[in-house]
Structure 1
Amino acid sequence: MTLTLDTAHRSNPSPQRSGNRLLASLPDEDLDHIQSLCELVEVDVGQALFEPGQQIQHIYFPIDALVSLLGVADGRMTLEVGAVGREGMIGASVALGHQQAQVRALVQRSGHCLRMEASDFCGEFAHMESLQHLLHRYTDTLLAQAIQIAVCSRFHVLEARLARSLLITRDRLQSEKFHMTHEFLAHALGVRRVGVTKAASALQQQKLISYSRGNIEILDSAGLEAVSCRCYELVKDSGSIGMGSVFL
Structure 2
Amino acid sequence: MAQVSNLRIKPVGHHVINSNTIAALKTRLDETPDNRPIAPKALAGLHGHNPKHNGLLAALPAADYDRLLPHLEFVEMPFGTTICAAGEKMQYAYFLSSSIVSLLYETADGASSETAVIGYEGLVGVDIVMGGGASLNRAFVKSAGYGFRIKASVLKEEFARGGALQQLLLRFTQALFSQMAHTVACNRHHTIVQQLCRWLLLSLDRLPTNKISMTQDLIANMLGVRRESVTEAARKLQDEGLIHYSRGQITVVDRAGLEEQICECYTSLKKEYDGLLAANER
Please tell me whether residue 70 in structure 1 is matched to residue 104 in structure 2: yes
Distance in structure 2 (CA, Å) of the matches to 1:16 and 1:54? 29
1:214 positional shift: 1.3
Question: Which residue number in structure 2 is paired with residue 176 of structure 1?
Answer: 210
1:91 is aligned to 2:125: yes
Extract unaligned runs of 5+ from structure 2.
1-37, 44-48
AA of the residue aligned to 2:172: Y
| Conservation of the 8 A alpha-carbon contact between 2:102 and 2:117 | yes
Written as runs of structure 1 = structure 2, the 5 A alignment for 1:154-233 is 154-233=188-267
Per the alignment, residue 29 of structure 1 pairs with: 63
SS at structure 1 position matched to 2:205:
helix
In the alignment, structure 1 segments of 5+ residues that lack a partner are 7-14
105, 121, 126: which is aligned to 2:139?
105
Structure 2 vs 1, CA of residues 3 and 35 (structure 1 numbering), >3 Å: closer, same or farther? farther
Distance 2:109 2:39 in 1: 29
Distance 1:111 1:129, change over 3 A: same
Q: Which residue of 2 aligns with 1:19?
A: 53
Q: Is the alpha carbon distance of 1:75 and 1:49 closer, same or farther for their aligned partners in structure 2, counting shifts above 3 Å?
A: farther
Q: 1:115 to 1:75 in 2, by over 3 A?
A: farther
Give the Cα–Cα distance (whole angstroms) in 1 for the partners of residues 117 and 137 of structure 2. 12
1:9 alignment counterpart: none
Deviates more, 1:123-132 or 1:133-142: 123-132
| Distance change >3 Å, CA 113–CA 51, structure 1 → 2 | same
SS at match of 1:105: strand
Residues 50-65 of structure 1 mapped to structure 2, 5 A cutoff: 50-65=84-99
TM-score scaled to structure 2, two decimals? 0.80
| Offset at residue 35 of structure 1 (A) | 2.1
**After the TM superposition, which residues 96-135 of structure 1 pair with which residues of structure 2 at under 5 Å, given as runs?**
96-135=130-169
3-state SS of paired residue (1:211): strand
Deviations 1:97-124 (A, max 9, x none): 0211101100001111101111111111
Alpha-carbon displacement from aligned partner over 1:171-230 (angstroms, at most 9, x marks no partner)? 011321121111220111101111111111111000000011111111001110011111
CA shift in 2, pair 1:173/1:75, >3 Å: farther
2:183 is equivalent to residue 149 of structure 1: yes
Q: Distance in 2 between matches of 1:191 and 1:201?
A: 16
**Could you say what secondary structure the match of 1:172 adopts?**
coil
CA contact (8 A) 2:80 2:142 kept: yes
- Which amino acid in 1 is paired with 2:275? G
Amino acid at match of 2:97: I
With the length of structure 1 as denominator, give the TM-score of the two structures: 0.91
Question: Matches of 2:275 and 2:39 in 1, distance apart?
Answer: 31
Give 1:41 deviation, angstroms. Answer: 0.7
Whether the 8 Å contact between 1:45 and 1:107 is mirrored in structure 2 is: yes
What corresponds to 1:235 in structure 2? Answer: 269
Hey, what's the Cα distance between the residues in 1 that align with 2:250 and 2:41?
A: 33
Write the distance in 2 (CA, Å) between the matches of 1:85 and 1:65.
6
Change (3 A) 1:195 1:148: same
1:245 is aligned to 2:279: no
Trace 1:34-45 onto structure 2 (pairs within 5 A): 34-45=68-79
Query: RMSD of aligned C-alpha atoms?
Result: 1.9
| Equivalent AA in structure 2 for residue 206 of structure 1 | E
Q: Which amino acid aligns with 1:242?
A: Y
